[in-house]
A and B are shown apart, each in its own frame.
Chain A
Amino acid sequence: MYNGSKIILGLIIFLAIATFPFYSNFGKSAVMPSPSTDTPVINQLAKKECVMSAEYMKKEHMKVLDQWRDEVVREGKRDVITVGGRVFEKSLQNGCMQCHSNKSKFCDECHSYAGVKPYCWDCHFFREGGQR
């Protein structure tokens, strides 16, 4: 074999680089996200409830937001949602974030874990701590 040593060395280097993501994470367990509802507004609530059940919101919050978006922007249906005497605007910025004022813990942690980058935050914004 011509230049055998060089080829084998090259293969070893290639394999080392190609398999780097596997062995570099080997044995480490990814930390499961634990979104927190520990915010001043939520803590004051007698009964902690969202516009839908927590189970539903965990799976389908993006669909709820999508539906609200169409209703508010396109159909002009800006009627508010009342849950347990509390009034919510159909709005990410003016609705959701009023209670969930801990974006980094409540939103970002799961999104990072799942590797999704929602572009909602390209336009909608939020001031840390919910200061308005």
Chain B
Amino acid sequence: MSIDRRKFLKIAGLSGIGLGLSAADSLVKGKAHASEESSLPESGVRLALVIDIGKIRTDEDYKRITDACHSIHNVPSIPNTKHEVKWIWTDNYEHTFPDQTNEFIPHEMKEKRFLLLCNHCAKPPCVRVCPTKATFKRPDGIVAQDPHRCIGCRFCMAACPYGSRSFNWVDPRKYLDMNKTNPDYPTRTMGVVEKCTLCVERLARGLEPACVEVSNGAIVFGNLADPGSNVRKILSTHYTIIRKPAVGTQPSVFYVIGGGENAG
């Protein structure tokens, strides 16, 4: 069948309009889809922590929680801050919630220290950038780290908006008393990245994460996908904030604010 120039241009023009319409259609649908999208996984489990900052008051409280985590996971205490390894740590209000720009917040809030750890995000950027899949998201929402596969490229550290990952610049064993380490848990080696794993090894044995266990009720652990869970109950009755909501990672660590005696 022969086709003349005039016919060809007609068909080409119509096809172009058709393509444009279909693209516009998918764009609209895509938008609608994005706004309705739930952060809850298909597995029906999204494990989360709710930290009631009013219930953690003294330095001993903070120390008890961070020490519990670091001692059972053999996390070394490296004095050089450029080399330090942190699974759970504290920082001030300004650094924890940089999006909260209200300068007239209560004084005690400005003075307060906040517990920080891996947020086990619903959309973890660290998982997206890891070239070896050493960082991966489990069906229960935990963002896990497999040191066996880590090649130490530190893309995940660059991707994490919360600074929740640490690179082993030095042999961690040099900073651990190997006679006092937890014999049930390995150390890490130089050249790998590590972070909080929400105590997967404890969850497997039916225990709660170590920080939750020693927090005297200040940290609550549970399944966000279960409307009847204790975390959902707290989230539905208290005002909570998450870290850096603007980056869209949807953290699974929530902070109950209110502070001081008003804290539930």
Bound: A102/B138 CA distance, A: 35
**What are the interface flags for A88-132 relative to B under an 8 Å C-beta threshold, 1 for contact and 0 otherwise?**
000001100000000000000000000000010011111100001
Return A116 CB to nearest CB of chain B, in Å: 17
- Known contacts A73-B144, A123-B147, A125-B181; A93/B186 CB under 8 A: yes
The reply on B33 being an interface residue by CB < 8 A is no
Q: Is the CB–CB distance between A125 and B186 below 8 Å?
A: yes
Q: Is the CB–CB distance between B146 and A124 below 8 Å?
A: no
Q: Which of B138, B186, B188 contacts A76 (CB 8 A)?
A: B138
Q: Which residues of B contact A (CB under 8 A)?
A: 136, 138-140, 144, 146-148, 173, 178-179, 181, 183-189, 200, 204
Q: Is the CB–CB distance between B144 and A127 below 8 Å?
A: no
Q: Which residues of A contact B (CB under 8 A)?
A: 69, 73-74, 76, 78, 93-94, 119, 122-127, 132
Q: Which residues of A contact B186 (CB under 8 A)?
A: 93, 123-125
The total of Cβ contacts below 8 Å across the A-B interface reads: 38
Return B190 CB to nearest CB of chain A, in Å: 8
Q: Which residues of B contact A73 (CB under 8 A)?
A: 144, 146, 148
Bound: A123/B189 CA distance, A: 6
Bound: A73/B186 CA distance, A: 13
Bound: A123/B200 CA distance, A: 18
Bound: A132/B187 CA distance, A: 15
Q: Is the CB–CB distance between A69 and B181 below 8 Å?
A: no
Q: Is the CB–CB distance between B178 and A69 below 8 Å?
A: no
Return B72 CB to nearest CB of chain A, in Å: 13
Return A124 CB to nearest CB of chain B, in Å: 5
Bound: A76/B142 CA distance, A: 11
Q: Is the CB–CB distance between B184 and A69 below 8 Å?
A: no
Q: Is the CB–CB distance between B147 and A94 below 8 Å?
A: no
Q: List 10 A-B contacts (CB under 8 A).
A: A69-B148, A76-B138, A76-B139, A93-B184, A93-B185, A122-B189, A124-B186, A125-B178, A132-B183, A132-B184
Q: Which residues of B contact A93 (CB under 8 A)?
A: 183-186
Q: Which residues of B contact A78 (CB under 8 A)?
A: 204
Bound: A69/B146 CA distance, A: 9
Q: Which residues of A contact B187 (CB under 8 A)?
A: 123, 125
For residue B139, which residue of chain A has the nearest CB? Answer: A76
Return B170 CB to nearest CB of chain A, in Å: 13
Q: Is the CB–CB distance between B189 and A94 below 8 Å?
A: no
- Known contacts A74-B136, A76-B138, A76-B200; A127/B148 CB under 8 A: no
- The 10 A-B pairs of least Cβ separation, nearest first, read A122-B189, A123-B186, A78-B204, A124-B186, A132-B183, A73-B146, A123-B189, A123-B187, A94-B184, A123-B188
Q: Which residues of A contact B189 (CB under 8 A)?
A: 119, 122-123
Q: Which residues of A contact B136 (CB under 8 A)?
A: 74
For residue B144, which residue of chain A has the nearest CB? Answer: A73
For residue B138, which residue of chain A has the nearest CB? Answer: A76
Bound: A126/B183 CA distance, A: 7
Bound: A78/B206 CA distance, A: 12
Q: Is the CB–CB distance between A74 and B147 below 8 Å?
A: no
Bound: A13/B144 CA distance, A: 57
